Amino acid sequence: MASLLDYISLFGHGIAAALFGALAIWQFQRKIDRNSKQVWLIIAITLTSFWALSIAVEGYLSPISRFSESLRNFAWLAFMFILLRAGEGRDEPKTVNGIYAALAFVLLGQLLVDSMIPAFSDSPNLESVTLYTSLVLRMIFAVGALVLVHNLYSISAPETRWGIRLPMASLAAIWTYDLNLFTITYLTQSTPLELHAMRGPMMAVIAPILALASLRNTEWNLKLSRSVAFRSLSLVAIGSYLLMMVVIATALQIIGGDYARLAQISFLFGATIGALLLLPSGRFRAWFKVKLAKNFFQHRYDYRSEWIRFTDTIGRPGPESAPFHERVIKAIADITESPAGILLMPDESGQLVLQSRWNWSSLDVPARACTTQTIPFLERTNHIVEFDALRAGKDDQCDAAAIPDWMSKDDQAWVAVPLVHFDRLAGLMLLARPRIDRKLDWEDLDMLRVVGRQVASYLAESRSQETLSEAQRFDEFNRRMAFIMHDIKNLVSQLSLLARNAKRHADNPEFQSDMIETLQDSADKMNGLLERLSQHNKSNPEEPKSVKVADLIRSIIEKKRLLHSLESSHVEDLTVFADPARVEQILGNLIQNAIDASPDGQTITINARRRDLSVAIEVCDQGTGMSAEFIRNQLFKPFASSKQGGFGIGAYEARELARAMKGRLEVESTENVGSRFTLILPLATHLPNDIPADERAA
């Protein structure tokens, strides 16, 4: 039998070496942009081929075979670590990074201990201790590696698990076999030649699976789930397995014989192949969850984990996340293992229309997705529709006229969940048939009703936010329009005054020149107003800079002198640090108000003087004035005006602009006497270096 086992080991490891070598060459020659994950994958596959070749040539107990096994394990460990670190979504707990570091340290210790075995060949006791230490280190590494395989798979987001399912199952099979081998060796205190021989054929089976995994996930991208932390489930499972192995080893000692060993080898090899075939299958996992829930748990659902998963799926933010309505579908579909779903929501006319799909592009949804009885029936009963029972005529509570034909005729339509919020239908969720077909029980129905109400509240809140956002956009537009209309009114008033004065001074060449300049300035302002009115206008106020108050007042008087009589009796040569456009807009509003309140020919005075650490710019008129009550209660409130046809915006806008520049606006007024508006702006005490020296002195 030893000769047969030698042939099995030789050919099995030789075939494995050839397959992994071919896989490494294929990966190396692929015309793709390689990243660090792909480089380490090629290294790991190459070292696996070298390990299998060394066993085929030198045997499993040779120093080169032990050394190559450690290198193989280190390469796969590095590949998993690089895959983890490159994953998107969250930072991995330090506990997991510590396990990677500990296993790397175990591999270094394993290499050191293996290098000491030949040196102790003359001392049986020391050689035995060294071999025992090497065996224990290999068991520790196999346990830790299986824990990390489970952790890497469990923390990956569900949408990216398909890409790492096959490689993780392959690595789990490799290290599970190693754990079996080393555990049996440790417990029986003998070398299981059969397990060593079958190690090669097992690796030969794994090579094509890794090749298929490379085709499925070329970039080896991984997204980490934010809802899954490091779990100890794998440690519990491995501990239970080791306990089972102790029982098996004890039974072997009692039964004895080669047939029992052969039965164990057959069972181990068959279980490994079965795991590789069944564990990646979504259908098998769904079937297993159903059987587990039916036979081992009082409740079908782990409500805590379901609730965490549900809230994480709906609330996952970020630009790479699926749209909100798709996340809503997936959150409910994951509860029942449904592979697809659609969401219908009422439109403005109250009819259900298609809002979103998830993995169900083949379903043809008509424009009018419901009948006239659908919404009233669902709002009245909140009935969850099971289409299998409806088709069989066993759903006595469902009104068949309320269910559209396109739903009941599609065999993939499994359940319809109404999303009712305060007796109003916020939506209808249609779920596709799960991989393992089953009937809904009372716990399923309760779960779907609860999450349906929760999702309905999310949908209602989302719609309210959209309505509020739309109202805010309209409010912003109306606010912008109000200020612009006020500025337009001022421009119209200026042009009206200009036209009236033109009748008397049209023959004056100097007046004609000033009139053209004034018209050009008004046209420029109108173009600026049109830009402000545009929703795409993103212009911001200018950065504050040094503004010479005397020059600014002189410029304003020059622009307004054709409209009304303006003068400045006392203007100190001061400098403020402000936005000149805003200052000009404030003074323009104040001067226009003064013109509107003053009779023709009555002069308006503009003065500027220092007041402590501020500059006070006064606009004085001798017009109609205002009462103290109006100043206190209405002057600075929008849309309150004492003028016929006034907008009530000018004073409010002037005060807000002054506050934006850390200034303020003061007013003194007496009815039938006149008004004084004073703009207070901070004095430029710290001037920039680009201001000329003569201005600094001022």
**CA-to-CA separations, 19 to 43, 207, 210, in angstroms, rounded:** 15, 6, 10
| The pairing of beta strand 424-432 with beta strand 341-346 | antiparallel
Cβ atoms 347, 355 nearer than 8 A: no
> Rounded to an integer, what distance in angstroms lies between the CA atom of residue 529 and that of residue 484?
6
> Rounded to an integer, what distance in angstroms lies between the CA atom of residue 44 and that of residue 33?
18
Q: Is the same domain home to 321 and 254?
A: no
Q: How many CB atoms lie within 10 A of CB 51?
A: 26
- Last residue in a domain, options 463, 492, 521: 463
Q: Is the same domain home to 166 and 34?
A: yes
Radius of gyration of the chain (CA): 41
Sign of CA dihedral 516, 518, 524, 526: negative
Q: Is the same domain home to 446 and 547?
A: no
- Last residue in a domain, options 430, 463, 496: 463
Q: What is the pLDDT of residue 270?
A: 55
Cβ atoms 187, 246 nearer than 8 A: yes
> Rounded to an integer, what distance in angstroms lies between the CA atom of residue 41 and that of residue 219?
11
What's the total number of domains in the chain? 3
Token pair, residue 572, equals 């100190």
Angle between helices 193-216 and 2-29 (to 10 degrees): 20
Comparing C-alpha atoms, which of 495, 493, 475, 491 is closest to residue 528?
491
Strand partners, 665: 679
| The pairing of beta strand 664-670 with beta strand 614-621 | unpaired
Q: Is the same domain home to 389 and 271?
A: no
Half-sphere exposure (Cβ direction) of 267: Cα atoms closer than 13 Å: 9
Token pair, residue 197, equals 């021989």
Cβ atoms 571, 550 nearer than 8 A: yes
| Residue 335, phi then psi, degrees to nearest 5 | -65, -40
Domain CATH number, residue 443: 3.30.450.40
Residue 421: which residues within 8 A CB-CB, separation 6 or more? 453, 456, 457, 459, 460
Comparing C-alpha atoms, which of 628, 575, 555, 563 is closest to residue 600?
563
3-state helix, strand, coil in the chain (%, to 5): 60, 10, 25
**CA-to-CA separations, 607 to 280, 618, 695, in angstroms, rounded:** 85, 5, 19
Strand order of the sheet with strand 566-567? 566-567, 604-611, 614-621, 674-682, 664-670
Cβ atoms 658, 583 nearer than 8 A: no
Comparing C-alpha atoms, which of 643, 645, 649 is closest to residue 595?
643
Residue ranges making up the domain that contains 380: 310-463
With respect to residue 489, please indicate whether it lies within any of the assigned structural domains: no
Q: Which residues of 562-583 are buried (b: 16+ CB within 10 A; e: fewer)?
A: bbbebebeebeebbbbbbbebb
Q: Is the same domain home to 276 and 352?
A: no
> Rounded to an integer, what distance in angstroms lies between the CA atom of residue 186 and that of residue 697?
94
With respect to residue 513, please indicate whether it lies within any of the assigned structural domains: no
Angle of CA points 388, 394, 396, to nearest 5°: 120
Token pair, residue 426, equals 């916020």
Q: Is the same domain home to 112 and 6?
A: yes
Q: What is the pLDDT of residue 88?
A: 56
With respect to residue 31, please indicate whether it lies within any of the assigned structural domains: yes
Domain CATH number, residue 554: 3.30.565.10
Q: What is the pLDDT of residue 26?
A: 87
Burial level of 247, CB count in 10 A (0-12/13-18/19+)? exposed
Burial level of 256, CB count in 10 A (0-12/13-18/19+)? exposed
Token pair, residue 406, equals 């396109």
| Residue 273, phi then psi, degrees to nearest 5 | -65, -40
Q: Is the same domain home to 320 and 275?
A: no
With respect to residue 206, please indicate whether it lies within any of the assigned structural domains: yes
Q: Is the same domain home to 143 and 233?
A: yes
Cβ atoms 385, 360 nearer than 8 A: no
Token pair, residue 69, equals 């096994």
Q: Is the same domain home to 576 and 452?
A: no
Strand partners, 576: 547, 683
| The pairing of beta strand 385-386 with beta strand 413-421 | antiparallel
Specify the 3-state DSSP secondary structure of 328: helix
Token pair, residue 248, equals 């098996």
Q: Is the same domain home to 237 and 102?
A: yes
> Rounded to an integer, what distance in angstroms lies between the CA atom of residue 165 and that of residue 153?
7
Q: Is the same domain home to 244 and 340?
A: no
pTM over 0.85: no
Q: What is the pLDDT of residue 340?
A: 92
Distance of CA 10 to the CA centre of its chain: 52
With respect to residue 597, please indicate whether it lies within any of the assigned structural domains: yes
Residue 84: which residues within 8 A CB-CB, separation 6 or more? 92, 96, 152, 222
With respect to residue 674, please indicate whether it lies within any of the assigned structural domains: yes
- Last residue in a domain, options 441, 463, 485: 463
With respect to residue 613, please indicate whether it lies within any of the assigned structural domains: yes
Q: Is the same domain home to 457 and 385?
A: yes
With respect to residue 525, please indicate whether it lies within any of the assigned structural domains: no
Cβ atoms 648, 641 nearer than 8 A: yes
Consecutive 10-residue runs of the chain (698 residues): their mean pLDDT? 75 90 86 76 91 89 89 90 71 68 89 85 81 86 84 69 78 86 78 84 88 71 49 52 55 52 52 52 54 51 77 73 85 88 86 89 86 89 89 84 88 90 89 83 84 87 77 68 69 70 71 72 69 51 78 82 79 86 85 84 89 90 87 76 63 85 90 92 65 45
